[in-house]
Chain A
Amino acid sequence: MSLILGYVATLLVTFFTYNIFVIGLNIQFGYTGILNFTVITFMAFGAYFYAVFVMPHADNASQVFYILGLHWPWPLAMLAGIVASGALGYLIGLIALKRLRSDYLAIVTLATGTLVYGLFGNNNKLFDGWSGLFNVNQPFQSVATNHPNEFSWIFVIFSGLIMLVVWLFANRLYASPLGRSMRAIREDQDVVDSFGKNSFKIRMLAMVIGSVIVGIGGVLTIQYIGALSPAGWTTGETFVVWAALLVGGRANNLGAILGSLLVAVIFNEATRYIPQVPSHPNLIPNLRNVIIGSLVILSIWFRPQGVLPEKKASFLEVPLVDKYAQGFPGEEPDSALSPAGSEA
């Protein structure tokens, strides 16, 4: 029983963290139309920086090397991880957001992802190279001492609360004037520019907010697992987030939640129990990636708006009444939009 409880807790935490990733990408892509092809790098940034801020100084005798090792309390380290992720988003934005074509940003994000992956993996002085960081200090360890599940369930509540805050924030943002500007940029940036909006600033805000949110998810991931290595953030992981957003419905946060439930939790977890083929140990993960990639393509073909499409904006419209408009006798004077006197 306790095994099942622990498993359910892990599923819930996975669900919550993926929700956060998908909402972060939703603000970037769904709201603003920013193509971030390396979502998972931001997750890794958040996680790694949380780790090096919270862990004690690297002990050279153990042959595990990492930078900093400041041993800060976990809430502060959490903040550091989130800031690091946001800063990466800001830097990428500085390089690529001024360009008109969205291809450039996509190229820069992809290049950054490849670069960071190689740099963090090959350089074992930064974040311990390919073996990655482990024994990362987890929060709530002083209270959750009785049973491993106790930590898991405290963490379910913790990550659930954070997800809720992120969710409320994302919805608030969607309805705000800033969110409307973001969606307007997605539809036609030139129009937004011509209305005097600083579209570069708005896109940058979306980029940074999205990166910060993905960073929060990254911090939660490493807090729960206590370890992360480059194998945990390959390009395939970015696709899981993309697939979840596209399947669920872009620009709809409920869709984001549904998508992460369907793709990240149900599909990814279900395929874990397919028995391995001994001669091809990578067959199942490879097949999973093929399916995720096809899912992305097929969802754009069949239902680009997702299972739960974005709600059509409804504005409070004051009916235009033209008091000079004169209809013919017996005709409803409803032609409010026609120029006055045209019918006279």
Chain B
Amino acid sequence: MTIFLLNVGFGLVTASVLSLLSVGLSLQFGVTNFVNFAYGSYLGVGMMLAYTFSQTLHFPFWAAAALGTIGTGVVSMVIAEGVLEPFVRRRKSLFYMLIVTFGLSLVLDNLLQIFYGVDFFQYPVAQSSPVTIGPFSFTSAQLAIIAIAVVAMIGVHLLLSRTRLGKAMRAMSDNMDLARSSGIDTKNVTRWTWFLSGCLAGLGGIVLALNIVSFQTNSGETLLFVIFAAVILGGIGQTYGAMLGALVIGMVTEISTSFISSAYKQDIAFIVLVLMLLLRPQGLIAAKGKA
């Protein structure tokens, strides 16, 4: 039982990491209406930018993490402006958009490896002994991860419900043409969406690296389909659904380690993805016209 509860605690941490990542992917999908297969590489960009800022340029870690987050947002925006949006403007079909982002993932992954190699890295964060809270046990880094995710989720909620940008994003997600004809500057909103999606990917990558302690440039890559599982579970393009999906997937994968080897916990996410596609492909919170 204690191990089970411990795993629930770890599930909370994994869900926090996943919530950042799946909300970032979902926001972008909702607005642009195509899946970004290079998203896994953005995690690596965030991780490595934060590493460079803290280790090479000797920024304090929190500042490096913030710069890494914003930096990934900028990278995401630049890639979208420079590579993806021109394809969208040429009205390339969905097939080609997916192949382009898929090709982009190969380019980004290998560029990261060229710059940083295949070594394992570690952030200069002191490894504290775990803190016991009730039945749970967390390291201070893990507590920070949960706090960051909660703050970020509240931030995303406020953005979507209280700001003009957020409302415009929701409008574009519902109906692009209607949004455009009501005078929303769709180009600008799309740009900011890519920025925000990149920021969340970068932040997610950094907290993922904090959680797994020692990481490589491509540590985020295998997580890509776990993110997809969370996004599809919640209903593709649904931001709140993505939060719910992340919670479910995070919990299920970690709790499963009480029963099976932890080497297979990602396979559990795959099984959830498959079941979801077979039973309820529109997701827990269905969006009209997206599935």
Q: Hey, which bits of chain A sit against chain B, CB under 8 A?
A: 29, 33, 35, 37, 95-96, 98-104, 106-108, 110-112, 114-115, 118-119, 122-123, 235-236, 239, 242, 246, 280, 282-283, 286-287, 289-290, 292-294, 296-297, 300-301, 304
Checking A35, A102, A104 against B277 with a beta-carbon cut-off of 8 angstroms, the contacting residue is: A104
Checking A99, A102, A106 against B291 with a beta-carbon cut-off of 8 angstroms, the contacting residue is: A99
Checking A110, A286, A292, A297 against B225 with a beta-carbon cut-off of 8 angstroms, the contacting residue is: A110
Establish whether residues B266 and A37, one from each chain, have CB atoms under 8 Å apart when the complex forms: no
Establish whether residues A107 and B96, one from each chain, have CB atoms under 8 Å apart when the complex forms: no
Establish whether residues B222 and A289, one from each chain, have CB atoms under 8 Å apart when the complex forms: no
B contact residues around A29 at 8 Å (CB): 95
A contact residues around B274 at 8 Å (CB): 95, 108
A contact residues around B92 at 8 Å (CB): 300, 304
Establish whether residues B107 and A101, one from each chain, have CB atoms under 8 Å apart when the complex forms: no
Establish whether residues A239 and B103, one from each chain, have CB atoms under 8 Å apart when the complex forms: yes
B contact residues around A35 at 8 Å (CB): 95, 98-99
Known contacts A106-B37, A115-B270, A122-B263: A101-B291 contact under CB 8 Å: yes
B218: nearest residue on chain A (CB-CB)?
Answer: A235
Known contacts A95-B274, A106-B37, A119-B267: A114-B225 contact under CB 8 Å: yes
A90 → chain B closest CB, angstroms: 14
Chain B: interface size category: 35 or more
Known contacts A103-B35, A239-B103, A296-B103: A110-B224 contact under CB 8 Å: yes
Q: Is B42 an interface residue (CB 8 A)?
A: no
Establish whether residues B102 and A102, one from each chain, have CB atoms under 8 Å apart when the complex forms: no
Q: Is B136 an interface residue (CB 8 A)?
A: no
A250: nearest residue on chain B (CB-CB)?
Answer: B95
Q: Hey, which bits of chain B sit against chain A, CB under 8 A?
A: 34-35, 37, 83, 86-87, 92, 94-96, 98-100, 102-107, 109-111, 113-114, 117-118, 222, 224-225, 228-229, 232, 236, 263, 266-267, 270, 273-274, 277-278, 281, 290-291
B279 → chain A closest CB, angstroms: 11
A contact residues around B37 at 8 Å (CB): 37, 106, 110
A contact residues around B228 at 8 Å (CB): 107, 110-111
Establish whether residues B224 and A287, one from each chain, have CB atoms under 8 Å apart when the complex forms: no
B276 → chain A closest CB, angstroms: 10
Query: In the bound complex, what is the Cα–Cα distance between A342 and B83 (angstroms)?
Result: 52
Query: In the bound complex, what is the Cα–Cα distance between A235 and B96 (angstroms)?
Result: 18
Sample of 18 more A-B contacts, CB < 8 Å, known A119-B267, A122-B263, A280-B117: A33-B95, A96-B277, A99-B277, A99-B291, A101-B290, A102-B95, A104-B232, A107-B225, A108-B274, A111-B229, A118-B222, A282-B117, A286-B110, A289-B109, A293-B104, A293-B110, A296-B102, A297-B103
Query: In the bound complex, what is the Cα–Cα distance between A300 and B118 (angstroms)?
Result: 30
Residues of A contacting B: mostly: helix
Query: In the bound complex, what is the Cα–Cα distance between A108 and B222 (angstroms)?
Result: 13
Known contacts A99-B291, A111-B225, A300-B92: A282-B103 contact under CB 8 Å: no
Establish whether residues A287 and B103, one from each chain, have CB atoms under 8 Å apart when the complex forms: no
Query: In the bound complex, what is the Cα–Cα distance between A118 and B94 (angstroms)?
Result: 29
A108: nearest residue on chain B (CB-CB)?
Answer: B277
Query: In the bound complex, what is the Cα–Cα distance between A103 and B266 (angstroms)?
Result: 20
Establish whether residues B114 and A286, one from each chain, have CB atoms under 8 Å apart when the complex forms: yes
Query: In the bound complex, what is the Cα–Cα distance between A101 and B266 (angstroms)?
Result: 24
Known contacts A114-B224, A297-B83: A290-B99 contact under CB 8 Å: no
A contact residues around B35 at 8 Å (CB): 103, 106-107
B contact residues around A98 at 8 Å (CB): 281
B contact residues around A293 at 8 Å (CB): 103-107, 110
A contact residues around B266 at 8 Å (CB): 114-115, 118
Query: In the bound complex, what is the Cα–Cα distance between A114 and B114 (angstroms)?
Result: 22
Query: In the bound complex, what is the Cα–Cα distance between A111 and B226 (angstroms)?
Result: 8
A109 → chain B closest CB, angstroms: 10
B153 → chain A closest CB, angstroms: 24
Query: In the bound complex, what is the Cα–Cα distance between A123 and B267 (angstroms)?
Result: 13
Establish whether residues B273 and A287, one from each chain, have CB atoms under 8 Å apart when the complex forms: no
A contact residues around B278 at 8 Å (CB): 95
Establish whether residues A239 and B87, one from each chain, have CB atoms under 8 Å apart when the complex forms: no
